[in-house]
A and B are shown apart, each in its own frame.
Chain A
Amino acid sequence: MRPRANWLAGVFAGAWLLIILVPVLVMLHAAFASKKAWAASGPLGLPTDFTFDNFVASFQGGFGLFLLNSGIVTVGTVVFIALLVPPLAFAIVRSRSRWIRIAFQIMLVGLAVPAQVVVIPLNFLITQVGLYDSLLGVILPTAAFSIPITTLILTGSMREIGSDMYEAMALDGAGSIRTFWRLVLPLSKGGIATIVVYSALQAWNSYLIPLTLTRSADVRVATLGLGIFHQEYSLNVPGLMSAIVLTIVPILAIYIFARRALIRGLMGVGGK
């Protein structure tokens, strides 16, 4: 047991919790308020009515499909990240090759590239490859843009694997593949869990890439679907908030159920 029951941190954490929750409560207030009541009460006023109309409007606007599309994009992105990043992180942490250092620095460059810079050329590229206005055309760039950060996170946790463990594997005559499979992956479960969660959230919330690479309603993702509440000169805030709640609920549900697995995974890295 860690003897660190820390009152100071506890108070601090409680205060921050309040600061987190106030906007969230405002969001819920708006989602269940009618436009009229919302405009009258303002964000912090007491809710004067309670209605599901905004949610109905969201679904009538096609939100069921948008959520499904977001789900597809998220799963696809996570798959690519889970397949591509662990080997890369392993190579960065362990390889002696000079090219690897360059690869790591390329990743750092990648971090520094804001998405707006590349969307126009990316649009051109994706159109040439014939993937414009498709979900796969959204998944691939989204996964690509998540690679630098997830690599950074995963190398952070992979580097904690002690060299004595590698030596033990080498003594057993293990080559790089077996070392990866038997030693690195199991010990990196926490890090992999983190990058899975992170890239899933990035994909779920991604806006700029679907915006520039899709157009039809049937491949629209939820973040774009929020646009149906953008009127020409202003926003329908209650409608927008109901749609945002709809985008949060599935993730929250998965998080609540997967939480135990996630925490076990995070503790697995410490695992001592």
Chain B
Amino acid sequence: MKNNSIKRVLGVGVSIAVAATLAACSSGGGTTSNSLAGWKPDNSRATNQIHVLVLGDAAASAEKAAAARFNKTSKVKVVIDTGSTAGTEYNNTVRSQLGTKTGPDIFMSWGASGINPLVKAGGLLPLDDFIKADPKLKSSFLPSVFNGEVISGKSYGIPMRGVAPEFLYYNKSVLDTAGLTPPKTWDDLLSDVSTLKAQNVIPIALAGADQWPGQIWLQYLYTREIGNAQVAKGLAGDSSVWTSAGSKKALADLTTLIKAGGFGSNFDSVKYGSDGSAALLGTGKAAFELMGSWEYATISQDKSNIGWTAFPSLNGGAGAAGEINGNLSNYYNVAANTRYPNTVRDFLKQLYGTPFLQDQIALGNTPPTTDAATLIDADTKLDPQTKTHLDFVVQLVKDAPSFQLSWDQTIPAAQQNASHAASAAFFDNQNVDQFISAQQSTTAASN
């Protein structure tokens, strides 16, 4: 009967609710949780545990392996919390959790500007004592990379994952068909663009819908026209850099490329990814893409058909040959309120250890260490194509007189969206004054 079935459902419901509440109240700490015990309140501050908040799953496999190795001999266990979030959500999680009862002990960052607010609020542990106890925590890493998270003379981050400079990828068969070789100079690139357009190929793939890829073009044109030293000044708040003649020349260069149809006309609807702009390059619908070294893993087509070269040089620019842009590395940072600093220090040692670095190489990452070249050459499991790619990255970084961190990781984190929007707007309207004033305002905010 109708009433009976309703009664039954309600009865079941009430019992579940009661059971749940009872379970929640009778919580214990220090137990490992399974899904039903997830009814119980948080127990991540269990004793003898440190928590590492990582980003991504597959990308964190090297870190998970390091934790497994470490836990074999450590009393205090490392628990890897795989971030189920991407991008900005990760940073929001860190910000809202750091320093609380449930906050992580170790987490990842991209550079000084991201952690500056945390440092100012006293949330991060300076790592200088760790380095004193074990100098290799600093000396194993490339100085230009390590210094990326030295703030006011104190070290806050240990590099991990990979050095990721940005350079020009190209599709070999597309260039062959057009009778072209990889461009060495800016003028080469411009002439390649008109040849490719005549063949109905999109000369340069650009993921305009995601806004940040266009900024890489701006970065390199500024690097070539005014040099990274000036760029760094501009990013640190010197507004005259952006109104300088060199700056306007860089914008004029980009305008020429855009108006020549270098990026096609549909780039605002193209997203970055293995089925977006990288697919354009991989399938030969486009000839070039200017992207970071992660592009190699993102292209899912046959990689033997993909080539790479440094960003072309520019005649008459003030920048030195070989200056590069990109992401220095990711870094591990330590919470100031960690309960087991010694364990943290010892776990961080894994980051310069050979097994961890080999795992990173297997993931296609170039280690940010001084021995990266040796490790890569010694690796027998790599296929030759991947090895060539990693060797190129190492050489590019080694030869570079300067390595400027991506703009969106250098300016204050709060300005990141505005900065992306300004770059995307320039690709749409080529309005020089609008761009210059946007750059001034996104770099003006004090760090």
Contact = CB atoms under 8 A, between A and B. Distances in A.
Nearest to B102: A132
B57 interface: yes
Q: What is the predominant secondary structure among interface residues of chain B facing chain A?
A: mixed
A80 B43 CA distance: 25
B10 interface: yes
Nearest to B14: A83
A236 B276 CA distance: 11
A131 interface: yes
B447 interface: no
Interface in B225-280: 271-276, 278-279
B57 A215 contact: no
A130 B283 contact: no
A82 B57 contact: no
Nearest to A30: B275
B55 interface: yes
Given A132-B102, A134-B40, A137-B41, A80 B17 contact: yes
B27 A130 contact: yes
Contacts of A218: 33-35, 37-38
Contact of B20 (A136, A181, A216, A231): A136
B30 interface: no
Given A65-B35, A83-B13, A127-B100, A235 B84 contact: no
Interface in A108-144: 120, 123, 127, 130-137, 139
B354 interface: no
A42 interface: yes
Contact of B85 (A130, A182, A185, A211): A211
A135 B279 contact: no
- Size band of the interface chain A makes with B: 35 or more
A130 B42 contact: yes
Interface stretch (B293-301, B309-317, B344-352): B293-301
A219 B33 contact: yes
A233 interface: yes
A130 B41 contact: yes
A120 B96 CA distance: 8
Contacts, number: 162
Interface in B65-118: 81-87, 89, 93, 96-97, 100-102
B42 A83 contact: no
B300 A82 contact: no
Nearest to A35: B300
Interface stretch (B1-9, B133-141, B410-418, B437-445): B1-9
A132 B101 CA distance: 10
Interface string A146-186: 00000000000000000000000000000000000110011
Contacts of B42: 127, 130-134
Contacts of B282: 39
Interface in A204-256: 211-212, 215-220, 224-225, 227-228, 230-237
Contacts of A225: 84
Contact of B278 (A80, A182, A228, A234): A234
A203 to B, nearest CB: 14
Contact of A234 (B37, B55, B100, B276): B276
A211 B81 contact: no
A227 B84 contact: yes
Given A186-B2, A227-B84, A132 B273 contact: no
B24 interface: yes
A248 B38 CA distance: 23
Nearest to B272: A234
Given A75-B16, A79-B16, A83-B10, A132 B56 contact: no
Interface in B150-170: none
B291 to A, nearest CB: 9
A191 interface: no
A68 interface: yes
B103 to A, nearest CB: 10
B338 interface: no
Nearest to B277: A234
A211 B275 contact: no
Contacts of B35: 65, 68-69, 72, 135, 218-219
A76 interface: yes
User: Which of B35, B39, B81, B283 is packed against the most chain A CB atoms within 10 Å?
Assistant: B35
B274 A35 contact: yes
A133 B102 contact: yes
A215 B79 CA distance: 12
7 contacts: A38-B300, A39-B278, A80-B17, A82-B9, A133-B41, A216-B44, A225-B84
Given A36-B301, A220-B84, 11 more contacts: A42-B279, A130-B41, A134-B24, A134-B41, A215-B97, A216-B38, A228-B58, A230-B85, A233-B292, A234-B272, A236-B274
